[in-house]
Amino acid sequence: MERITIEKHFLNQQGNNELPSDLINILYDINLAGKMIRKQVVINGLTDQTGDANVTNASGESVQKLDIYANDSIKSILTAHGRVAIMASEEEEDIIPCDPSAEYVILFDPLDGSSNIDVNVSVGTIFSIYKVNKDGKTPTEKTLRKGSEQVAAGYIIYGSSVVMVYTAGDGVFGFTYDPSLGEFFLSHDRITIPNKASYFSVNEGLTPHMHPGTKSVLEELKSDDPENGYPLSARYVGSLVADFHRNLIKGGIYLYPGTSKSPNGKLRLMYEANPLAFICEQAGGKASTGSQRILDIEPTDVHQRIPLIIGNAELVDLVESFEKTAVL
């Protein structure tokens, strides 16, 4: 099988649809950051980058030392080449102005699922890229745009293998890292979510606080109804990138719904829901809050939380139909 490096792929894409060179170079930078992060993830437990950093982030969540390492790695690489005008990170309270002459804004979750890192569950880096909103007067106004205006998005999953998945609006591509060569090679050419769903992913510990519509649709997904392909199998590892990637490749739906205790759920719109929604739609799936398309949401805050229902289009439609009809 001809092995196409991520570099060769980008050159091909540049020829096909004029992917701007600055955008390609930002994707390269993220790829390089992924190599640096992978190096620490795969020896976690053997270095001083292991364990809790004993600080909390902008969302009040405890931070692992590897979160800080990943965040610092991405920031240092992205600020080194003057291609990024503004950065925002889950691990940073404030938006970070960079090179005012640059065209791109990048938002990222440097190491999603890091609370699982000590138990060897896959974790991931998630990123979302926009053109600077030139009408904005402040860094926030220049940054906050609907997910439908992303120019690229993706993630790197550090699992049994390390895979970088991205879209720039012309399909979804995956590249697997070969540590013997230190290079990412094309392994998933134009990913599309399978028509038949196999899995549903949700934290059923949330059930007591779920809305009636959410409870009802989960009962449907678990019902003995082979004609409609039910029951689906439950798969939930508690790492968004791992759960999303499995469902993208095998077919399924991931739900982190709003509840009576947390009406906006847990996940963040700008650097978790939006980038995965862009990828999912490019792969033929859907992403919703349960009532609204994720990519249509007008953001109000860089760290705002949002309910996320993402995966096979027909299953997302089913959840929306239950959410709309249920009496809260």
Binding site for ligand P6P (CB under 6 A): 112-113, 115, 203, 238-240, 243, 266-267
Which of 78/267 has CB closer to ligand P6P? 267
CB of 236 to ligand P6P, least distance (A): 7
CA distances from 246 to 66, 110, 287 (A): 23, 20, 16
The C-alpha torsion from 51 through 57 and 62 to 68, rounded to 10°, is -10
DSSP string, 49-91: T-SEEEEE-TTS-EEEHHHHHHHHHHHHHHHTTT-EEEEEETT
Task: Please count the CA atoms within 13 angstroms of the CA of 249 that sit on its side-chain side.
Answer: 12
The C-alpha torsion from 144 through 149 and 154 to 155, rounded to 10°, is 20
Which of 64/73 has CB closer to ligand P6P? 64
Which of 29/109 has CB closer to ligand P6P? 109
Which of 239/288 has CB closer to ligand P6P? 239
Which of 21/233 has CB closer to ligand P6P? 233
CB of 247 to ligand P6P, least distance (A): 12
CB of 114 to ligand P6P, least distance (A): 7
Residue 100 exposed, middle or buried by CB count within 10 Å (0-12, 13-18, 19+)? exposed
Q: In one letter, which amino acid is 314?
A: E
CB of 185 to ligand P6P, least distance (A): 26
CB of 244 to ligand P6P, least distance (A): 8
Q: CB neighbours (10 Å) of residue 207?
A: 12
CB of 113 to ligand P6P, least distance (A): 4
Q: In 3-state terms, what secondary structure has residue 237?
A: coil
CB of 112 to ligand P6P, least distance (A): 5
Q: In 3-state terms, what secondary structure has residue 1?
A: coil
CB of 228 to ligand P6P, least distance (A): 26
Q: CB neighbours (10 Å) of residue 12?
A: 13
Phi, psi of 110 (to 5 degrees): -65, -35
Q: Which pair of tokens denotes residue 170?
A: 């012309």
